[in-house]
């Protein structure tokens, strides 16, 4: 039973961590992050990195595997959000003229 719970937790951790990738793709595709809460993704990025570090500290592969995807995804959204944060404002100004 313990083995089943570890597998389930790992799979669900990866699935949850993959939730960042559609957002990152949308930002990259539209070149706009006007609707993204940067403070939220700062918190997510720090949180996922902290959990990954903790996973390595206690040598727990369930946490490590789950949060590797979360770290990459949350940081990707954060970086793309910062990169494209003013794009929407510029396009709105161009459309009004």
Question: pTM of the prediction?
Answer: 0.78
Question: What does the pLDDT read at residue 46?
Answer: 95
Residue 90 pLDDT > 60, yes or no? no
Q: How many domains does the chain have?
A: 1
Per residue in 15-68, pLDDT (tens digit) is 999 999 999 999 999 999 888 899 999 999 999 999 999 999 999 999 999 999
In a domain, 54, yes or no: yes
Best CA proximity match to 69, nearest among 7, 5, 10: 10
Q: What domain range is 45 assigned to?
A: 37-87
In a domain, 25, yes or no: no
Cβ partners under 8 Å of residue 33, min gap 6: 27, 80, 81, 82, 83, 84, 85, 87, 88
In a domain, 95, yes or no: no
């Amino acid at each position: 039973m313990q083995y089943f719970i570890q597998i389930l937790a790992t799979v669900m951790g990866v699935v949850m961590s993959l939730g960042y990738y559609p957002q990152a793709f949308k930002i990259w595709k539209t070149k706009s992050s006007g609707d993204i809460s940067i403070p939220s993704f700062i918190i997510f990025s720090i949180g996922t990195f902290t959990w990954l570090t903790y996973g390595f500290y206690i040598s727990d592969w369930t946490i490590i595997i789950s949060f590797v995807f979360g770290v990459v995804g949350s940081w990707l959204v954060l970086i793309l959000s910062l990169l494209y944060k003013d794009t929407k404002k510029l396009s709105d100004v161009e459309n009004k003229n």
